Amino acid sequence: MMAVINISRELLAARAAYILRGNDLGELTTAAPQLYPHLWSWDAAFVAIGLATVSVPRAIAELRTLLRAQWLNGMLPHIVFGPDVDYFPGADVWDSACAAAAPRDVRTSGICQPPVHAIAVRHVLAAGRRNGGSDRELAERFAEGTFDRWLAWHRWLAEARDPSRRGLLEIYHSWESGMDNSPRWDSAYAKVVPKVDLAVRSRRDLQHVADASQRPTDAEYRRYLWLVHQMREARYDDDTVRETVDFRVTDVFMSAVLALAADELAEIGDEFGRTDEAAELRTLAARFRAGVLSTVSDETGLARDEDVRARAWVETETIAGFAPLLCGADPSVVRRQVGLLSGPQWCDHPALRYAVPPSTSPTSPAFQPRTYWRGPQWPVMNWLFCWALERQGVAPALTARIREDSLRQLADLSFGEYYEPLTGEALGSSHQSWTAAVALDWTLGPAASRRP
């Protein structure tokens, strides 16, 4: 078992800031310097949250880089490709230029990721106001001036990805969830059979792990590439993709994030006189909050995804099951979920090195402690759940415990992509930008003043 490392909050913050500076390409922060050399959509939002604690202008620049890649239909793509660096699958595989809505001057992927961006805008705005002066002026001008772009993003999700208006977003690739190889997707992927031979070229991820079993297999990658092929054949047209792609699943986690982000964007709208749009966003948030609540299992207490093609619930016990804790829900559901998350199936499991939620319950047959989203703990997820619970004034003892154990986990200063939950070992890439970003917010942001 690894020894506990104790370091000062100041040292952790200084090292986190150093990591972000090292990954900074000017107006784009790479997700990780070696493994992920471009900008990822939801990474950029968390990076902006961290950057806002040290430089409001630089945080704004990060979000503007993402907005420059926004599609005409409102979608924010999950990858914005930066300088030419060997990466697979790269811009040539996506060929997003075949889509009528894609930008012509920026190379992007053709899918999206969870819409956490309004949360970042609120953090940037709050940081600017705390600092005052030019930072306040810049942050307020940015929030007001980009409001319609974030609104278009939310509208696209609500219209294109919830065609039945159930309050549940559909995804057509597991990469859209951000939880690429989670066991949430196993049953849906079992029915994805590539019809053409798609070569899996040199994978950077396998160069950054000692054991290839930590990452998705080549067989999984062929399924991933087949879905990209199908979407590219459909020219990324929303209606065509929905009817033709082999993977079609409602994502309860992503739906909860949209409800949460819509409420955040509504508050921004109110502040800048966009009351009609704020009311629209609150209606949208209510729709998706209700959708999330409709998926909660009476038996397990967890929210569930649905395999739309198979018309079947996904019962696997993953961190996504706590989606109601992100967006708020019926108080009885929240109380039960807080009890579950803090109990022996999750954070209080006796084998865990740190009392933070693993991506899959250690009591689940699907739990694999060293394999990406199938068991490891992710600091960015710890931050998101802590922030959402604090925002609602729910479970202060649990959030304080998760925050403190997360900071102890990060005390090795590797800022790992994810962590082995039984040993505390950093896995995946090191110097991960969003890990450094949440460490900065925990140590220098408003939450830092609430630490005991």
Residue among 304, 324, 301, 323 at smallest CA distance from 314? 304
| Structure tokens that stand for 173 in this block | 């690739």
Tens digit of each residue's pLDDT (9 = 90 or more) over 145-168 = 999 999 999 999 999 999 999 999
Could you give the CA distance from residue 285 to residue 279 in angstroms, rounded to a whole number?
10
| Structure tokens that stand for 74 in this block | 């409102």
Residue among 381, 292, 296 at smallest CA distance from 328? 292
Three-class DSSP labels, 399-437: HHHHHHHHHHHHHHCCCCCEECCCCCCEECCCCCHHHHH
β-pair type (170-171, 79-80): unpaired
pTM over 0.75: yes
Q: From first to last of its 452 residues, what are the pLDDT tens digits of the chain?
A: 455 456 799 999 999 999 999 999 988 999 987 778 889 999 999 999 999 999 999 999 999 999 999 999 999 999 999 877 778 889 999 999 999 999 999 999 999 999 999 999 999 999 999 999 999 999 999 999 999 999 999 999 999 999 999 999 999 999 999 999 999 999 999 999 999 877 665 655 655 556 666 677 888 889 999 999 999 999 999 999 999 999 999 999 999 999 999 999 999 999 999 999 999 999 999 999 999 999 999 999 999 999 999 999 999 999 999 999 999 989 999 999 999 999 999 999 999 999 999 999 999 999 999 999 999 999 999 999 999 999 999 999 999 999 999 999 999 999 999 999 999 999 998 999 999 999 999 999 886 644 44
Positions marked active-site: 180, 417
Tens digit of each residue's pLDDT (9 = 90 or more) over 287-320 = 999 999 999 999 999 999 999 999 999 999 999 9
Residue among 429, 417, 415, 378 at smallest CA distance from 13? 415
